[in-house]
Amino acid sequence: REDGEGAAPEVRGEPETVESQRPCLVLLCCPGWSAVVYTCRRLRELCQSSGKVWKEQFRVRWPSLMKHYSPTDYVNWLEEYKVRQKAGLEARKIVASFSKRFFSEHVPCNGFSDIENLEGPEIFFEDELVCILNMEGRKALTWKYYAKKILYYLRQQKILNNLKAFLQQPDDYESYLEGAVYIDQYCNPLSDISLKDIQAQIDSIVELVCKTLRGINSRHPSLAFKAGESSMIMEIELQSQVLDAMNYVLYDQLKFKGNRMDYYNALNLYMHQVLIRRTGIPISMSLLYLTIARQLGVPLEPVNFPSHFLLRWCQGAEGATLDIFDYIYIDAFGKGKQLTVKECEYLIGQHVTAALYGVVNVKKVLQRMVGNLLSLGKREGIDQSYQLLRDSLDLYLAMYPDQVQLLLLQARLYFHLGIWPEKSFCLVLKVLDILQHIQTLDPGQHGAVGYLVQHTLEHIERKKEEVGVEVKLRSDEKHRDVCYSIGLIMKHKRYGYNCVIYGWDPTCMMGHEWIRNMNVHSLPHGHHQPFYNVLVEDGSCRYAAQENLEYNVEPQEISHPDVGRYFSEFTGTHYIPNAELEIRYPEDLEFVYETVQNIYSAKKESIDE
């Protein structure tokens, strides 16, 4: 081993004589001894910290990390093994602590500080989190829940920093695809999305176009372009041949098309999904079309046309003064159809000014993409986590940090979601900072800002008055009417949805307005009956009356993103609460076991008979 560690100890005493060395000399002179010496030397080389033994140990243990190492680099594999091992233990320690710290609320803005302050390569921490997420079976649900949140945060922070650096590029930097991939990555941080992979898929489409183009014109200059290199072709006829070949490959051969049936789906804006599903909306289809055309020498340009993103193709002479009529406009959403100015107006059903036919830079293109995501995020139901809205707000404010209305929306969103810290009020202060910034930018927003400031400060006072964890005992006399327990898989009698109980109250604890809006008084037992907090298979969280619930005789896993927040395992018939939920309902688990035994064992016996 290195540095003499593990080497034979030094023999102290009288100096060695020739006689004392004779056995060694005899062995060295024996036939085959040189092979033994070579084998020992080779074994030592393999077992060194940079040798193949430790490299193989590292590869077997963490295969996904090998892509980060170059074959030509010198790597101390033993040291890498130790660092990765330590990072894994630290990551697991932090994941294990999250449930206790943040069970009662969303993970706050300062909740990830422990991860940010850890020493060592970030890819090691991410890899450990991925290992947790990939753990087999229906166990460790709480670990997976928080590992996912931490990984989501780490990757989004890295992507957002890359996007901000990208936006600092000069206006003539026209990598539209790169910007679109950053948006895709930010909204899908747990997916394996990279510019390299997306570009490789586009390159394969370019090869198909070249094959078709070769049949049209075997001497076409675009066929001589090397991979990763391109220049612009000036002759209109040669450009037209490229576009004809593109239209055939994209729309006839590969069957790309505009998604008219499911237009308002966020997947239409993610470039990796556009390539997988071969469909999108005008702006995403246009970016794909633009990228391919430019790689083949056709200088198309993006046009931020209202209601329908377009590309323009110059038909005028180089250097001449051009107006909007010197261009043909291409509708990538409409199978590459080429339009005149009049046809563009017919497409959207209105007359527009000449300024709207102008070319836009990368930042404006990304602004429109994020704006589309923002609109979709606002359409999400009230039972959702508003993740798309939160992500699109982050992206938009990264580009335009002084947008008053969006800052106000972000403050309202934080307040609505209740993303408050447990031991400090850093997020409260963040909301107040946002509100102060809004007031500076637009004093006219005084009313809205004042309202949110008042409610934010009221929240601070409520937090100060909060006591410890509320424990609900089934043996308590006031809970005698509670029939069901946390962890049971239930079915709603009226709406038919499947759900799992994660909390209960002896009577309805909602306000009068909610009771009136939900028409609770029309129930036979009204609001004077137990009500249950349930996670529903459609991703929503609901508050259901006891008389509307019944046991699900065919229990199944509930696909809800918050299952791991409350439960540690799914047994096949019920969920086992994690430590934090069990503290709040300490007597429920025993009742669950009795219920499962009575309901599902009886069913099994009847089937066997």
Contact 183, 395 (CB under 8 A): yes
Domain limit, last residue, from 139, 168, 197: 168
Find all residues with CB under 8 Å of 597, minimum gap 6, and list them: none
Domain limit, last residue, from 147, 168, 189: 168
Contact 488, 574 (CB under 8 A): yes
Residue 3 within a domain: no
Residue 339 within a domain: yes
Residue 127 within a domain: yes
409 and 316 in a single domain? The answer is no
Residue 390 within a domain: no
Q: Which pLDDT score is estimated for 12?
A: 39
Residue 239 within a domain: yes
Q: Which pLDDT score is estimated for 109?
A: 52
Q: Which pLDDT score is estimated for 403?
A: 77
Whole-angstrom distance, CA of residue 128 vs CA of residue 146: 13
Q: Which pLDDT score is estimated for 121?
A: 86
463 and 486 in a single domain? The answer is no
Q: Which pLDDT score is estimated for 383?
A: 45
Please give the single-letter amino acid code of residue 347: L
120 and 100 in a single domain? The answer is yes
298 and 434 in a single domain? The answer is no
251 and 329 in a single domain? The answer is yes
- Give the residue ranges of DSSP H helices in 418-562: 426-441, 446-465, 512-517
264 and 182 in a single domain? The answer is yes
Q: Which pLDDT score is estimated for 415?
A: 67
DSSP code at position 501:
E
273 and 337 in a single domain? The answer is yes
Q: Which pLDDT score is estimated for 408?
A: 73
Domain limit, last residue, from 367, 390, 419: 367
Domain region containing 506: 477-601
Residue holding tokens 């798309």? 388
Strands across the sheet with 301-303, in order?
301-303, 310-314, 327-331, 337-339
Residue 45 within a domain: no
Residue 389 within a domain: no
259 and 138 in a single domain? The answer is no
182 and 286 in a single domain? The answer is yes
Tell me how many domains the chain contains: 4
Q: Which pLDDT score is estimated for 423?
A: 34
Residue 581 within a domain: yes
Q: Which pLDDT score is estimated for 441?
A: 64
284 and 238 in a single domain? The answer is yes
DSSP bridge pairs for 490:
499, 551
Q: Which domain CATH number covers 554?
A: 2.30.30.390
Whole-angstrom distance, CA of residue 286 vs CA of residue 280: 9
409 and 519 in a single domain? The answer is no
231 and 317 in a single domain? The answer is yes
Q: Which pLDDT score is estimated for 22?
A: 47
DSSP bridge pairs for 330:
311, 338
Q: What is the mean pLDDT of each run of 10 residues along the chain (609 residues)?
A: 41 42 48 62 66 86 91 89 92 88 63 69 91 90 94 92 90 84 96 94 96 94 79 92 97 97 95 97 97 95 95 85 92 96 92 91 94 88 70 90 77 64 43 62 59 60 62 94 96 95 95 91 94 93 95 92 94 94 95 88 54
Q: Which pLDDT score is estimated for 73?
A: 86
Whole-angstrom distance, CA of residue 242 vs CA of residue 245: 5
